Chain A
Amino acid sequence: DGGITQSPKYLFRKEGQNVTLSCEQNLNHDAMYWYRQDPGQGLRLIYYSQIVNDFQKGDIAEGYSVSREKKESFPLTVTSAQKNPTAFYLCASSTWTQEAFFGQGTRLTVV
């Protein structure tokens, strides 16, 4: 079955540590995205990539980094520079003609 796989589902991080969230898709979509959701708020765009080896900052990119070395993969690193990293992180992918398809999310908690 085609889809988007995010791992892990739950992640705990100590303050000051970097952590990487995985996102893999087998839908053959060109574009991939990372969104963040906070309680009572909508999703906010962190980074997006419309083609391999290229990516752009979204609305809240500070404290995050990404790479897009393969079409199928778009990992997100939450760095120690991100002051409030506890949130629900959602990865999505899309084509140029269809709506975005989302993964099941990773809940990151700073302890």
Chain B
Amino acid sequence: AAGVIQSPRHLIKEKRETATLKCYPIPRHDTVYWYQQGPGQDPQFLISFYEKMQSDKGSIPDRFSAQQFSDYHSELNMSSLELGDSALYFCASSLAGRGETQYFGPGTRLLVL
């Protein structure tokens, strides 16, 4: 079965640079979630989109923005990167109306130097 696709899988950036992470949900899933997971920590919810509209917002810094496109893929844009942004970034998708079971992508490992 098709899973959530994330790209890139690994990313190295310098401080103050920008990064764009992409997420392609499971086909027919209409809801996308973004999470940040630091070393030894649980995933922290950043933001979610349902039918291309922001549906919920968590601890996403103002330097970050995200959107969901007409094909339901989502992009997380990160600007003015800081060392503390180094983490695993997961995207998850679900089908609204079928409960909130979220299926996670493989993640993007971001390293800010």
Chains A and B are bound partners: no
Residues of A near any B CB (own CB < 8 A):
none
